[in-house]
Protein backbone atom coordinates (compact mmCIF):
# COMPACT_ATOMS: atom_id res chain seq x y z
CA UNK A 1 0.00 0.00 0.00
CA UNK A 2 3.00 2.22 0.65
CA UNK A 3 6.11 1.41 -1.36
CA UNK A 4 9.15 3.58 -0.95
CA UNK A 5 12.22 2.96 -3.06
CA UNK A 6 15.59 4.67 -2.78
CA UNK A 7 14.00 7.93 -1.73
CA UNK A 8 16.48 10.77 -1.27
CA UNK A 9 15.83 14.38 -0.34
CA UNK A 10 18.35 17.19 -0.30
CA UNK A 11 17.63 20.55 1.28
CA UNK A 12 20.36 22.59 -0.36
CA UNK A 13 23.59 20.95 0.75
CA UNK A 14 21.91 18.97 3.52
CA UNK A 15 20.79 15.42 2.73
CA UNK A 16 17.75 14.87 4.96
CA UNK A 17 17.09 11.31 3.77
CA UNK A 18 19.24 9.01 1.69
CA UNK A 19 18.18 5.89 -0.25
CA UNK A 20 15.21 5.22 1.99
CA UNK A 21 13.29 2.05 1.06
CA UNK A 22 10.47 0.30 2.90
CA UNK A 23 6.97 -1.02 2.33
CA UNK A 24 3.81 -0.98 4.37
CA UNK A 25 1.32 -3.76 3.59
CA UNK A 26 -2.41 -3.00 3.26
CA UNK A 27 -4.19 -2.90 6.60
CA UNK A 28 -0.96 -2.62 8.56
CA UNK A 29 -0.08 -0.01 11.20
CA UNK A 30 3.60 0.80 11.08
CA UNK A 31 5.54 2.91 13.54
CA UNK A 32 8.13 5.23 12.00
CA UNK A 33 10.84 5.82 14.57
CA UNK A 34 14.05 7.72 14.82
CA UNK A 35 15.79 10.42 16.83
CA UNK A 36 15.14 14.13 16.26
CA UNK A 37 16.24 15.21 12.82
CA UNK A 38 16.41 11.64 11.50
CA UNK A 39 14.16 12.37 8.52
CA UNK A 40 10.74 11.09 9.59
CA UNK A 41 8.76 14.24 8.80
CA UNK A 42 10.64 14.72 5.53
CA UNK A 43 9.72 11.19 4.41
CA UNK A 44 6.11 11.63 5.48
CA UNK A 45 5.81 14.94 3.67
CA UNK A 46 6.99 13.27 0.48
CA UNK A 47 4.48 10.42 0.96
CA UNK A 48 1.72 12.99 1.46
CA UNK A 49 2.72 14.82 -1.77
CA UNK A 50 3.68 17.94 0.17
CA UNK A 51 7.29 17.86 -0.87
CA UNK A 52 8.95 16.46 -3.99
CA UNK A 53 11.78 13.97 -3.48
CA UNK A 54 15.19 14.68 -5.00
CA UNK A 55 15.34 11.11 -6.33
CA UNK A 56 13.76 7.70 -5.82
CA UNK A 57 10.11 6.74 -5.97
CA UNK A 58 7.19 6.40 -3.61
CA UNK A 59 3.84 4.81 -4.38
CA UNK A 60 0.88 5.27 -2.09
CA UNK A 61 -2.44 3.48 -2.61
CA UNK A 62 -1.26 2.36 -6.04
CA UNK A 63 -0.17 5.75 -7.41
CA UNK A 64 3.14 7.49 -7.71
CA UNK A 65 3.31 10.46 -5.32
CA UNK A 66 4.86 12.62 -7.99
CA UNK A 67 3.10 11.65 -11.23
CA UNK A 68 -0.21 10.62 -9.65
CA UNK A 69 -0.29 13.11 -6.80
CA UNK A 70 -3.96 14.04 -7.30
CA UNK A 71 -4.94 10.36 -7.08
CA UNK A 72 -2.77 9.88 -3.99
CA UNK A 73 -4.25 12.94 -2.28
CA UNK A 74 -7.76 11.54 -2.73
CA UNK A 75 -6.82 8.39 -0.89
CA UNK A 76 -4.82 9.67 2.05
CA UNK A 77 -5.35 11.49 5.30
CA UNK A 78 -2.31 13.44 6.48
CA UNK A 79 -1.64 14.85 9.91
CA UNK A 80 1.45 17.05 9.51
CA UNK A 81 3.93 17.75 12.27
CA UNK A 82 2.72 21.34 12.67
CA UNK A 83 -0.99 21.20 12.10
CA UNK A 84 -1.93 24.03 9.75
CA UNK A 85 -5.44 25.09 10.66
CA UNK A 86 -7.57 28.01 9.63
CA UNK A 87 -7.52 29.54 13.05
CA UNK A 88 -10.29 32.05 12.32
CA UNK A 89 -12.74 29.27 11.58
CA UNK A 90 -14.89 27.38 14.02
CA UNK A 91 -14.25 23.65 14.35
CA UNK A 92 -17.34 22.19 12.62
CA UNK A 93 -17.38 24.65 9.69
CA UNK A 94 -13.65 24.06 9.22
CA UNK A 95 -14.18 20.31 8.99
CA UNK A 96 -17.11 20.87 6.66
CA UNK A 97 -14.75 22.90 4.46
CA UNK A 98 -12.17 20.09 4.55
CA UNK A 99 -14.90 17.61 3.56
CA UNK A 100 -15.87 19.84 0.64
CA UNK A 101 -12.23 20.06 -0.46
CA UNK A 102 -11.97 16.29 -0.28
CA UNK A 103 -15.00 15.95 -2.51
CA UNK A 104 -17.49 14.64 0.05
CA UNK A 105 -21.01 15.14 -1.37
CA UNK A 106 -22.91 18.03 0.21
CA UNK A 107 -25.68 15.70 1.44
CA UNK A 108 -23.18 13.47 3.26
CA UNK A 109 -21.03 16.21 4.76
CA UNK A 110 -22.93 16.82 7.97
CA UNK A 111 -22.76 13.18 8.92
CA UNK A 112 -19.11 12.85 7.90
CA UNK A 113 -18.17 15.88 10.03
CA UNK A 114 -20.18 14.65 13.03
CA UNK A 115 -18.53 11.26 12.71
CA UNK A 116 -14.92 12.53 12.61
CA UNK A 117 -15.63 14.90 15.50
CA UNK A 118 -16.87 11.94 17.54
CA UNK A 119 -13.88 9.83 16.65
CA UNK A 120 -11.35 12.56 17.41
CA UNK A 121 -13.20 13.51 20.63
CA UNK A 122 -13.88 17.12 19.70
CA UNK A 123 -17.68 17.23 19.50
CA UNK A 124 -17.66 19.36 22.67
CA UNK A 125 -15.68 22.15 20.99
CA UNK A 126 -17.37 22.08 17.59
CA UNK A 127 -18.63 25.67 17.80
CA UNK A 128 -15.42 27.20 19.09
CA UNK A 129 -12.90 29.24 17.17
CA UNK A 130 -9.87 27.11 16.38
CA UNK A 131 -7.50 29.85 17.54
CA UNK A 132 -8.98 29.68 21.04
CA UNK A 133 -8.47 25.95 21.42
CA UNK A 134 -5.79 24.48 23.63
CA UNK A 135 -2.85 22.70 22.01
CA UNK A 136 -4.21 19.21 22.60
CA UNK A 137 -7.59 20.13 21.12
CA UNK A 138 -5.93 21.63 18.05
CA UNK A 139 -4.01 18.41 17.62
CA UNK A 140 -7.30 16.52 17.73
CA UNK A 141 -8.85 18.85 15.15
CA UNK A 142 -5.81 18.04 12.98
CA UNK A 143 -6.47 14.35 13.43
CA UNK A 144 -10.16 14.85 12.63
CA UNK A 145 -9.32 16.57 9.32
CA UNK A 146 -7.05 13.63 8.42
CA UNK A 147 -9.94 11.24 9.03
CA UNK A 148 -12.44 13.13 6.85
CA UNK A 149 -13.54 11.00 3.91
CA UNK A 150 -12.34 7.78 5.57
CA UNK A 151 -9.11 7.60 3.51
CA UNK A 152 -7.48 4.21 2.86
CA UNK A 153 -4.06 5.44 3.96
CA UNK A 154 -3.25 7.60 6.97
CA UNK A 155 0.05 9.38 7.39
CA UNK A 156 0.24 10.64 10.95
CA UNK A 157 3.25 12.65 12.09
CA UNK A 158 3.36 12.41 15.90
CA UNK A 159 -0.43 12.08 16.33
CA UNK A 160 -0.43 11.95 20.13
CA UNK A 161 1.94 14.84 20.79
CA UNK A 162 0.53 17.37 23.24
CA UNK A 163 -2.37 15.21 24.37
CA UNK A 164 -3.12 14.51 28.01
CA UNK A 165 -2.79 10.88 29.23
CA UNK A 166 -6.51 10.10 29.00
CA UNK A 167 -6.73 11.47 25.45
CA UNK A 168 -3.56 9.64 24.44
CA UNK A 169 -5.21 6.37 25.42
CA UNK A 170 -8.39 7.26 23.50
CA UNK A 171 -6.54 8.37 20.38
CA UNK A 172 -4.39 5.23 20.49
CA UNK A 173 -7.53 3.14 20.55
CA UNK A 174 -8.87 5.13 17.64
CA UNK A 175 -5.69 4.51 15.63
CA UNK A 176 -5.70 0.82 16.56
CA UNK A 177 -9.29 0.53 15.37
CA UNK A 178 -8.18 1.74 11.93
CA UNK A 179 -6.09 -1.42 11.35
CA UNK A 180 -7.41 -3.84 8.77
CA UNK A 181 -9.44 -1.39 6.69
CA UNK A 182 -6.76 1.28 6.65
CA UNK A 183 -3.02 1.43 6.19
CA UNK A 184 -1.33 3.68 8.72
CA UNK A 185 2.18 5.02 9.09
CA UNK A 186 2.72 7.02 12.25
CA UNK A 187 5.77 8.62 13.77
CA UNK A 188 6.22 9.03 17.49
CA UNK A 189 8.87 9.26 20.17
CA UNK A 190 6.77 7.30 22.66
CA UNK A 191 8.10 3.79 22.15
CA UNK A 192 5.72 1.93 24.47
CA UNK A 193 2.97 3.49 22.33
CA UNK A 194 4.44 1.86 19.25
CA UNK A 195 4.38 -1.57 20.91
CA UNK A 196 0.74 -0.99 21.84
CA UNK A 197 -0.44 0.22 18.45
CA UNK A 198 1.88 -1.05 15.73
CA UNK A 199 2.77 -4.53 14.49
CA UNK A 200 5.93 -3.43 12.71
CA UNK A 201 8.36 -0.56 12.73
CA UNK A 202 10.68 1.25 10.37
CA UNK A 203 13.64 2.83 12.15
CA UNK A 204 15.51 5.71 10.56
CA UNK A 205 18.71 7.36 11.76
CA UNK A 206 20.60 10.24 10.14
CA UNK A 207 18.44 9.93 7.04
CA UNK A 208 18.98 6.21 6.45
CA UNK A 209 16.83 3.19 7.35
CA UNK A 210 18.64 1.12 9.96
CA UNK A 211 16.05 -1.56 10.80
CA UNK A 212 12.56 -2.58 9.80
CA UNK A 213 10.14 -5.42 10.39
CA UNK A 214 7.74 -6.88 12.93
CA UNK A 215 8.61 -5.82 16.48
CA UNK A 216 8.94 -9.43 17.74
CA UNK A 217 11.39 -10.24 14.99
CA UNK A 218 13.55 -7.21 15.73
CA UNK A 219 13.60 -8.13 19.41
CA UNK A 220 14.82 -11.62 18.49
CA UNK A 221 17.35 -10.26 16.05
CA UNK A 222 18.88 -7.73 18.43
CA UNK A 223 18.48 -9.79 21.59
CA UNK A 224 19.25 -13.35 20.52
CA UNK A 225 19.23 -14.54 24.15
CA UNK A 226 16.38 -14.72 26.65
CA UNK A 227 16.88 -13.33 30.10
CA UNK A 228 15.80 -14.48 33.51
CA UNK A 229 16.12 -12.53 36.70
CA UNK A 230 16.92 -14.60 39.76
CA UNK A 231 17.06 -13.63 43.40
CA UNK A 232 18.41 -16.23 45.76
CA UNK A 233 19.43 -16.30 49.42
CA UNK A 234 22.79 -18.07 49.26
CA UNK A 235 26.52 -17.38 48.90
CA UNK A 236 26.66 -15.29 45.74
CA UNK A 237 29.86 -16.74 44.27
CA UNK A 238 28.58 -20.28 44.64
CA UNK A 239 25.26 -19.42 43.01
CA UNK A 240 26.96 -17.71 40.10
CA UNK A 241 29.34 -20.60 39.48
CA UNK A 242 26.55 -23.16 39.70
CA UNK A 243 24.29 -21.30 37.29
CA UNK A 244 27.08 -21.00 34.75
CA UNK A 245 27.23 -24.82 34.55
CA UNK A 246 23.59 -25.12 33.47
CA UNK A 247 23.46 -26.19 29.80
CA UNK A 248 22.22 -23.37 27.57
CA UNK A 249 23.32 -20.58 29.92
CA UNK A 250 25.56 -18.15 28.04
CA UNK A 251 26.05 -15.44 30.63
CA UNK A 252 25.40 -14.76 34.29
CA UNK A 253 25.51 -11.15 35.37
CA UNK A 254 25.37 -10.15 38.99
CA UNK A 255 23.20 -7.26 40.05
CA UNK A 256 23.68 -5.26 43.21
CA UNK A 257 22.63 -7.40 46.17
CA UNK A 258 19.71 -6.17 48.21
CA UNK A 259 21.08 -7.63 51.51
CA UNK A 260 24.02 -9.64 52.67
CA UNK A 261 23.65 -13.22 51.64
CA UNK A 262 21.13 -12.45 48.91
CA UNK A 263 22.23 -12.38 45.31
CA UNK A 264 20.42 -10.97 42.29
CA UNK A 265 21.42 -12.21 38.87
CA UNK A 266 20.43 -11.88 35.28
CA UNK A 267 20.88 -15.20 33.54
CA UNK A 268 21.04 -15.18 29.75
CA UNK A 269 20.38 -18.34 27.80
CA UNK A 270 19.98 -19.20 24.14
CA UNK A 271 16.56 -18.06 22.93
CA UNK A 272 14.00 -20.83 23.24
CA UNK A 273 16.10 -22.54 25.93
CA UNK A 274 14.15 -21.95 29.14
CA UNK A 275 16.47 -22.61 32.08
CA UNK A 276 14.03 -21.68 34.86
CA UNK A 277 13.36 -25.35 35.67
CA UNK A 278 17.07 -26.10 36.03
CA UNK A 279 17.62 -23.06 38.24
CA UNK A 280 14.75 -24.16 40.47
CA UNK A 281 16.13 -27.74 40.69
CA UNK A 282 19.60 -26.48 41.45
CA UNK A 283 18.38 -24.23 44.26
CA UNK A 284 16.29 -27.06 45.73
CA UNK A 285 19.25 -29.46 45.68
CA UNK A 286 21.54 -26.96 47.34
CA UNK A 287 18.80 -25.91 49.79
CA UNK A 288 19.07 -22.31 48.63
CA UNK A 289 15.99 -20.18 49.11
CA UNK A 290 14.83 -19.03 45.70
CA UNK A 291 13.20 -15.66 46.30
CA UNK A 292 12.42 -14.68 42.73
CA UNK A 293 12.58 -16.23 39.29
CA UNK A 294 11.13 -14.35 36.36
CA UNK A 295 11.56 -13.97 32.67
CA UNK A 296 12.57 -10.48 31.52
CA UNK A 297 11.03 -9.44 28.21
CA UNK A 298 13.08 -7.11 26.02
CA UNK A 299 11.20 -4.04 24.97
CA UNK A 300 11.18 -2.08 21.73
CA UNK A 301 12.87 0.71 23.68
CA UNK A 302 15.86 -1.52 24.39
CA UNK A 303 15.98 -2.60 20.75
CA UNK A 304 15.88 1.03 19.62
CA UNK A 305 18.67 2.04 21.99
CA UNK A 306 20.78 -0.94 20.98
CA UNK A 307 20.39 -0.17 17.27
CA UNK A 308 21.24 3.50 17.70
CA UNK A 309 24.18 2.73 19.98
CA UNK A 310 25.52 0.34 17.31
CA UNK A 311 25.11 3.07 14.70
CA UNK A 312 26.97 5.58 16.86
CA UNK A 313 29.82 3.12 17.40
CA UNK A 314 30.03 2.48 13.67
CA UNK A 315 30.02 6.19 12.89
CA UNK A 316 32.73 6.83 15.50
CA UNK A 317 34.84 3.97 14.13
CA UNK A 318 34.50 5.30 10.57
CA UNK A 319 35.45 8.81 11.64
CA UNK A 320 38.42 7.51 13.66
CA UNK A 321 39.58 5.35 10.74
CA UNK A 322 39.31 8.34 8.42
CA UNK A 323 41.33 10.46 10.80
CA UNK A 324 44.18 7.98 11.25
CA UNK A 325 46.93 8.38 8.67
CA UNK A 326 47.79 5.22 6.69
CA UNK A 327 51.20 4.55 8.24
CA UNK A 328 49.92 4.92 11.79
CA UNK A 329 47.13 2.32 11.45
N1 LIG B 1 12.65 22.88 5.05
C2 LIG B 1 13.85 22.47 5.44
N3 LIG B 1 14.97 23.11 5.02
C4 LIG B 1 16.19 22.69 5.39
N5 LIG B 1 16.42 21.62 6.19
C6 LIG B 1 15.36 20.95 6.62
C7 LIG B 1 14.01 21.34 6.29
N8 LIG B 1 13.16 20.46 6.88
C9 LIG B 1 13.94 19.59 7.55
N10 LIG B 1 15.24 19.87 7.41
C11 LIG B 1 16.37 19.10 7.96
O12 LIG B 1 16.25 17.76 7.53
C13 LIG B 1 16.62 16.84 8.55
C14 LIG B 1 15.46 15.89 8.82
O15 LIG B 1 14.39 16.63 9.42
P16 LIG B 1 12.98 16.00 9.75
O17 LIG B 1 12.08 17.09 10.14
O18 LIG B 1 12.56 15.13 8.62
O19 LIG B 1 13.35 15.08 11.01
P20 LIG B 1 12.38 14.26 11.99
O21 LIG B 1 12.88 12.85 12.00
O22 LIG B 1 10.98 14.49 11.66
O23 LIG B 1 12.75 14.91 13.40
P24 LIG B 1 11.82 15.21 14.71
O25 LIG B 1 11.78 13.94 15.50
O26 LIG B 1 12.60 16.26 15.42
O27 LIG B 1 10.48 15.66 14.22
C28 LIG B 1 17.01 17.69 9.73
O29 LIG B 1 18.41 17.82 9.71
C30 LIG B 1 16.34 19.02 9.47
O31 LIG B 1 17.06 20.08 10.06
MG1 LIG C 1 9.43 15.36 12.64
- pLDDT, tens digit (0-9, with 9 covering 90-100), for 6-57: 999 999 999 999 999 999 999 999 999 999 999 999 999 999 999 999 999 9
Residue nearest to atom 5 of ligand 1 (CA): 11
Among 42, 159, 201, the mutation site with the greatest number of ligand 1 atoms within 8 A of its Cβ is 42
Q: Are 185 and 24 in contact (CB under 8 A)?
A: yes
For the chain, list the domains and their CATH numbers.
2-220 (3.40.50.300), 224-296 (3.30.70.3190)
Q: What is the pLDDT of residue 328?
A: 46
- Quote the CA–CA distance of 255 and 242 in Å, as a whole number: 16
Give pLDDT tens digits for 265-323.
Answer: 999 998 778 899 999 999 999 999 999 999 887 788 888 998 888 888 887 887 777 66
CA separation for the pair 147, 10 (Å, rounded)? 30
**pTM for this prediction:** 0.85
pLDDT of residue 302: 87
| 61-70 average pLDDT score | 94
Pocket of ligand 1 (CB under 6 A): 11, 14, 16, 34, 36-42, 81
pLDDT for the residue numbered 130: 94
Which has the closest alpha carbon to 44: 183, 156, 167, 175?
156
Pocket test for ligand 1, best of 10, 41, 205 (most atoms within 8 A of CB): 41
List of residues 6+ apart from 115 with CB closer than 8 A: none
Q: How many CB atoms lie within 10 A of CB 289?
A: 11
Measured by CA distance, the residue closest to atom 12 of ligand 1 is 16
Q: How far is CA 208 from the centre of its chain?
A: 16
Amino acid sequence: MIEVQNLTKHYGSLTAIRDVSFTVAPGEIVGFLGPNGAGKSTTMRILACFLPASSGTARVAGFDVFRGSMEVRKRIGYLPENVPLYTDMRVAPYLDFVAEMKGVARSARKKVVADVMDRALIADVQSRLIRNLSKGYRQRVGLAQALVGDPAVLILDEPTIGLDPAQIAEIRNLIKSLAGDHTVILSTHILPEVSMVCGSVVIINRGAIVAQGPIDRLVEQFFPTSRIEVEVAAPRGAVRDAMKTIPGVVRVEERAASHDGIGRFVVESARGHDVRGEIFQMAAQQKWALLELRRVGMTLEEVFIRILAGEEREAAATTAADAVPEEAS
